[in-house]
Chain A
Amino acid sequence: MSYLELRDISKVYGEGATEVHALQRVDLSVESGSLVAVMGASGSGKSTLLTIAGSLEDPTSGEVYVGGRPLSSLSRNAKAKLRRQSIGYVFQDYNLLAGLSALENVSLPLELDGVPARKAQGTALETLDEFGLKDRASHYPDQLSGGERQRVAIARAVVGGRQLLLADEPSGALDSTNAESVMRLILAACHRGLAAVVVTHDAQLASWADRVIFLRDGRIVDQTLPLDSPEAFLADVPNR
């Protein structure tokens, strides 16, 4: 079942001569357990698609369903609750709070949602441990490498059983080895049942996805076909 569904989404900024059609009649479904990448040049509408999918912005027309619920039917507070409990965001520049340790950054979304501090920190520590960051729990962001910061940011995005991960160029500032680690973590989260959307201009990143959607001037123009089995693919390689 699709955890995230965008139906006929359009987004227009400005009016009249300054009108910009950021998204035009976009349909997209993302099932639980699957990773979808959205590729496009800058200005193609990738980030707008992500903010609308994450209920950070309303579409001009069309409907977004998260976990089967239409976002237009939710009050402002209900949307905020949905964002806190079900959706995790990862950004290119990590967006960690500089004054908080790695552990506090990861436990913060739980505490904001009313989980007692001790319990929230216990859950956060477990998540950091899964991500190989237990020994960095008390470090502040400026004491972490770029790769570690982004891993903390992903831990923060998935902590507490979030069901949807939305990532905007999650490895944009990282070298290729760290970028690969980041994508492995996102993929592992998907294998545990999370639905994820990664928007990127980078084909190396997009190639970790089950499906790649191509966005151009606010429209979905194309998408990849299902993959062959690795065995069938490798058997054909020498003929290339």
Chain B
Amino acid sequence: MSVRHALLALLSEGPKYGLQLRQEFESRTGEVWPLNVGQVYTTLQRLERDGLVESDDTSEEGPQKGFHITQEGADELALWLRTPPDFSSPPRDELVIKVLVALGLPGVDVHEVVQVHRRYLVELMQQWTRLKEDETRLDINFALVVDAELFRLDSLIRWLDTADGRLKRAAGEDAPAPQSFPLPKARRRVGAPE
């Protein structure tokens, strides 16, 4: 997420204070990405240095200092909105690497490794979906963020399903019957480092 361009977008609606920018950024992203106030000011300083925003000379430093966008800032925002993110080269996907590594290791059941990741991803999707349940309280910005996350996780599960099927076919008829996989005693905390 580009904080720089998000702030330019908010300022394109009219002049705003630093504190106001932070609050609006959080509410527009469904409060999924919190922003610390230091990050807002550092970014605003850089935007001012680059001539993309100007501060209100009459106001004092701090949360009440006002900013407005310049023409260069508006041009930069318009260009950014229409520039596709770089999807041209495959990202170094940790999930893909783990499955590839599992495939080459003796004594490791790659289907079990696939299932561990599949279950974890489905659990994440259940959590995100639950946030959508109460439609009456679903803010449109938040709904879009949740949908994006669900489609991202879904694409990973589809890849795992495809990999599972491909590996099964490759192994032919001799594949042993699947066993139940032991459930971990406690859910791994979401976001905890592996």
Contacts and interface: CB of A to CB of B under 8 A. Distances in A.
Given A204-B150, A214-B115, A230-B130, A236 B125 contact: no
A214 B120 CA distance: 12
Interface in B123-162: 123, 125-133, 135, 150-151, 153-154, 157-158, 161
Nearest to A232: B190
Contact of A238 (B33, B183, B187): B33
A209 interface: yes
Interface string A112-147: 000000000000000000000000000000000000
A228 B190 contact: yes
B189 interface: yes
A221 B183 contact: no
Interface stretch (B12-20, B87-95, B99-107, B174-182): B174-182
B63 interface: no
A109 to B, nearest CB: 28
Interface string A6-47: 000000000000000000100000000000000101000000
A233 B146 CA distance: 13
B125 A223 contact: no
Interface in A193-239: 201, 203-204, 206-209, 212, 214, 216-217, 219-225, 227-228, 230, 233-234, 236-239
A227 B190 contact: no
A171 to B, nearest CB: 13
Contact of A230 (B32, B127, B158): B127
A39 B161 CA distance: 11
B74 interface: no
B119 A207 contact: no
A222 B119 CA distance: 8
A217 B173 CA distance: 12
Contact of B179 (A221, A236, A239): A221
Considering residues A207, A230, A234, which has the most beta carbons from chain B within 10 angstroms of its beta carbon? A207
A222 B192 CA distance: 22
A167 interface: no
Interface residues of B, number: 41
Band of interface residues on A: 20 to 34
A220 B119 CA distance: 13
A234 B32 contact: yes
B181 A222 contact: yes
A201 B162 CA distance: 11
B34 interface: yes
A224 B122 contact: yes
A81 interface: no
Contacts of B127: 227-228, 230, 233
Contacts of B180: 219-222
Contacts of B33: 238
B121 A237 contact: no
B164 interface: yes
A207 B129 contact: yes
A207 B161 contact: no
Contacts of A240: 190-191
Contact of A207 (B122, B135, B189): B122
A187 interface: yes
A69 interface: no
Interface of B: 31-34, 111, 115, 118-119, 121-123, 125-133, 135, 150-151, 153-154, 157-158, 161, 164-165, 177-181, 183, 187, 189-192
Top 3 A-B pairs, shortest CB-CB distance? A239-B191, A207-B125, A207-B129
Given A224-B122, A239-B192, 8 more contacts: A41-B165, A203-B158, A208-B129, A222-B181, A224-B123, A227-B127, A230-B130, A237-B32
